[in-house]
Amino acid sequence: MKLVLQSVAIAFVVVVIIFLWKLYLSSSSQSVTPDKVITLTALAPCHLAKSSCLFVAGQRQIEISLSGEIRTMKSFKLLTKLNNFNSSIKKVQVNFSMQSMKMGFNHFQLLEVKNTNSSRYWQTSILLPVCVSQRTDWLMTLSIISEDTIYRVSIPLQIK
């Protein structure tokens, strides 16, 4: 009898945990998504590993730069300067991926750097894994998420 009660108690706890986990997942997936996606275009050919790049959409501008030694398994910085974006930016994030290659979860949140002028700066540190098949062709996708719009920039990078 004692064994039956223990089994029922364990089953009850497992059911409660599963219920709470599903409740958590459904509440976190119900976040409001912006209505439209705008892809920004480069003003000139972008070689981000060598110099900063400027992207525009209407009056909005994003300047992106990397600092430090740009290599896998070595931390480097990503800095963005946002011009003419209103204050409704919810978050800025960047993803690194390779086409037809699973490289794990390479998603980074950028944090706003407090500044006194009208430009807004966001930055993060990046640490990317080594590809076991020796590939170096990464795709960096930067997203600026506001109340109603996602502004997106995609940049191919060679990171050794």
Residue 14 pLDDT class (50, 70, 90 cuts):
low
| Same-domain check for residues 80 and 11 | no
| Same-domain check for residues 12 and 88 | no
The boundaries of the domain holding residue 19 are: 1-31
CA dist 60 and 57 (Å) reads: 5
Q: What is the pLDDT of residue 28?
A: 45
Query: Average pLDDT in the 1-19 region?
Result: 69
What radius of gyration, in Å, describes the C-alpha atoms of the chain? 21
Q: What is the pLDDT of residue 116?
A: 64
Q: What is the pLDDT of residue 29?
A: 43
Q: Encode pLDDT of 43-91 as tens digits.
A: 888 888 888 999 998 888 999 999 888 888 999 999 999 988 876 889 9
Asked if residues 141 and 95 have their Cβ atoms less than 8 Å apart, the reply is yes
Q: Take residue 65 and report the two structure tokens written for it.
A: 């730069």
| Same-domain check for residues 53 and 13 | no
| Same-domain check for residues 76 and 128 | yes
| Same-domain check for residues 59 and 124 | yes
Among 14-23, 46-55, 84-93, 109-118, the range with the most confident prediction by mean pLDDT is 46-55
| Same-domain check for residues 18 and 41 | no
| Same-domain check for residues 5 and 53 | no
CA dist 53 and 71 (Å) reads: 19
Number of structural domains found in the chain: 2
| Same-domain check for residues 91 and 23 | no
| Same-domain check for residues 21 and 55 | no
Q: Encode pLDDT of 25-50 as tens digits.
A: 554 444 546 678 999 888 888 888 88
Q: Please give the residue that has the higher pLDDT: either 138 or 19.
A: 138
| CATH classification at residue 140 | 2.60.40.2440
| Same-domain check for residues 1 and 61 | no
| Same-domain check for residues 96 and 127 | yes
| Same-domain check for residues 68 and 23 | no
